[in-house]
């Protein structure tokens, strides 16, 4: 696999989040224009904006996860000696992995269950709304498990 393709796949969450942001802004903007300028408001624009915002939220969270940008409070853990710090951090990493796996599984269940349930205006399957939960959480879980394989550097790995 080429380096460019590998980098693009590694940043897929950011690309999806940026596209979802553009769609959200465009749909909201079009909704405002049609509501106040024309006599017929675009009823589909709010539904498109809501769906795009769901994609933005979850893939943005995945990008934050990749950049280690989620907040962590590790005041108490830092006060522990290095040995117990490693055990606490490992425990937290395992809890985060378990939560992400469970959340991903719930996303799969919701997505499959919602296949026959259409959205109100566009009549798309509700799976389009629930899919980012599954996909972005799976990306976060894969990254988290990959990071857990690396040696544990005490200052940077705080997830508590």
Using only the alpha carbons of the chain, give its radius of gyration: 20
pLDDT for 1: 65
d(CA 84, CA 48): 49
Residue 120 tokens, joined: 């109100």
Residue 144 tokens, joined: 């988290």
Tell me which residue has tokens 């465009």.
26
Residue 158 binned pLDDT confidence (cut-offs 50, 70, 90): very low
| Range with the poorest average pLDDT among 111-120, 130-139, 143-152 | 143-152
Q: pLDDT per residue over 138-149, tens digit each?
A: 999 999 998 887
Residue 160 binned pLDDT confidence (cut-offs 50, 70, 90): very low
Q: pLDDT per residue over 62-92, tens digit each?
A: 999 888 888 888 888 889 998 999 999 999 9
């Amino acid at each position: 696999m080429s380096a460019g393709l590998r980098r693009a796949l590694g940043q897929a969450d950011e690309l999806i989040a940026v596209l979802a942001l553009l769609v959200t802004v465009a749909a909201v903007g079009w909704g405002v224009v049609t509501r106040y300028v024309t006599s017929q408001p675009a009823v589909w624009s709010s539904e498109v904006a809501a769906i795009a915002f769901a994609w933005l939220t979850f893939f943005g969270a995945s990008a934050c996860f990749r950049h280690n940008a989620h907040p962590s409070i590790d005041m108490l853990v830092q006060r522990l000696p290095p040995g117990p710090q490693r055990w606490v951090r490992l425990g937290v990493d395992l809890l985060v992995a378990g939560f992400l796996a469970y959340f991903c599984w719930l996303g799969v269940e919701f997505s499959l269950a919602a296949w026959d349930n259409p959205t109100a205006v566009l009549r798309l399957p509700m799976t389009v709304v629930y899919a980012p939960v599954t996909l972005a959480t799976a990306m976060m879980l894969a990254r988290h498990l990959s990071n857990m394989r690396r040696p544990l550097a005490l200052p940077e790995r705080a997830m508590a």
